[in-house]
Every structure is written in C-alpha cells, then in structure tokens.
C-alpha cells in the first residue's frame, strides 16, 4: 500500500511540474522559451524499479505506466512565479515481479498550487514546502517535454524499500 501511495504522490507531484509554452511559429529544442501560460498534457509515461529487503529476502519489481483519459492542465504565471494544476486521468501500471505480471488502473484527480522557477533546463516547483525538480528536454513555443527521476527509501520494522521513478511528460500550449 505504501508503494502505491509513493508512486501516486510522485506521479501527482510531477504532473504539476510538467508545463511549458506553445506557439507553432518557432519550433526548436531550445529550453529558453517561457513557461508562462496555460499548458495541456499530451503524453505521460513512467518507469519504476523497486527493491524491498528484509528478513533475508529480497523482492525486486519493475513497472511501466501510461496515463489514459489524460486531462492535466497547468497554468504558469509570473511576478510572482506561481502555478495552478488540475489533473484527472487514469494511470495504467504494469508491474513485473517474481515472474508475475500485474496490471492496475488507478484513477487520479488532483488540484494544487505552488511556486516555480526555471534555470537553464531545470524546472523547480515548490508545493507544501516540498521542492521537486525536472529536466526540460524540449521547450519550444508550442511544446514542453520534461523528464524527472525521484528515488525514495523507507525503512520500517527492519524492512527497507527503495523505489526509483522516472517520468516523462509532454504538454502543448493552449
């Protein structure tokens, strides 16, 4: 249950991060374009690995995920640099562990606000006093794509779980 919650929170948080600018008149991979404006998600996928160790046993798993019924909108404002996000989608997760494959569909709805900054190709957001970063791989006048990786380790009752999630999101300017 904690792993599902961790994946949900990570995906949700990075859904907020994913934003950029859109104008078809100038297409480049330059990441110096402005994020200010309204962005709509066009693609969302992720990969994760987890390793749980305890009591002489190790369990490893790999997951892939895609967003279905994707409806994520982010509005970036400046002076001050704030954002507002509304998300509603179904996350389809395929997990392979110990020779078994499990497919889950998790409905996700989220709304939030926070502050943002961009330096070079790094996008940082702060929400509820928690900072997250993403690497912008494409930011043009019409498209934003970013990748983020988060690793979290938890130990409880002698059992240690480590989860690493890499997400890729793409947006178009509205």
pLDDT of 43 higher than 60? yes
At 173, the pLDDT band (50, 70, 90 cuts) reads: very high
pLDDT of 4 higher than 80? no
Q: How far separated are the first and last CA of the chain, in Å rounded?
A: 37
In tens, the pLDDT along 145-166 reads: 999 999 999 999 999 999 999 9
In this structure, how many other beta carbons lie within 10 angstroms of the beta carbon of residue 88? 14
CA 108 – CA 96 distance, rounded (Å): 22
CA 125 – CA 46 distance, rounded (Å): 19
* Share above pLDDT 90 across residues of the chain, in percent, rounded to a whole number: 75
Structure tokens at 125: 């957001």
Average pLDDT over residues 78-87: 93
Q: Whole-prediction pTM value?
A: 0.75
At 9, the pLDDT band (50, 70, 90 cuts) reads: very low
At 167, the pLDDT band (50, 70, 90 cuts) reads: very high
Q: Are 1 and 154 a contacting pair, CB within 8 Å?
A: no
Strand partners of residue 22: none
In tens, the pLDDT along 93-142 reads: 999 988 899 999 999 999 999 999 999 999 999 999 999 999 999 999 99
Mean pLDDT taken over the chain: 84
């Amino acid at each position: 249950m904690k792993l599902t919650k961790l994946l949900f929170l990570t995906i949700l948080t990075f859904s907020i991060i994913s934003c950029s600018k859109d104008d078809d008149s100038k297409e480049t991979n330059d990441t110096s374009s402005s994020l200010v404006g309204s962005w709509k998600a066009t693609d969302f996928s992720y990969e994760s690995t987890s390793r749980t160790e305890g009591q002489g046993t190790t369990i490893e798993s790999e997951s892939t995920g895609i967003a279905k019924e994707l409806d994520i909108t982010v509005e970036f404002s400046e002076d001050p640099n704030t954002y507002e996000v509304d998300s509603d989608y179904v996350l389809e997760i395929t997990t392979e562990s110990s020779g078994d494959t499990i497919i889950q569909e998790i409905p996700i709805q989220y709304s939030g606000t926070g502050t943002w900054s961009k330096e070079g190709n790094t996008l940082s957001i702060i929400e509820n006093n928690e900072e997250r970063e993403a690497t912008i791989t494409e930011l043009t006048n019409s498209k934003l794509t970013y990748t983020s990786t988060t690793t979290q380790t938890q130990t409880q009752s002698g059992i240690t779980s480590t989860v690493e999630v890499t997400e890729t999101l793409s947006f178009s300017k509205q």
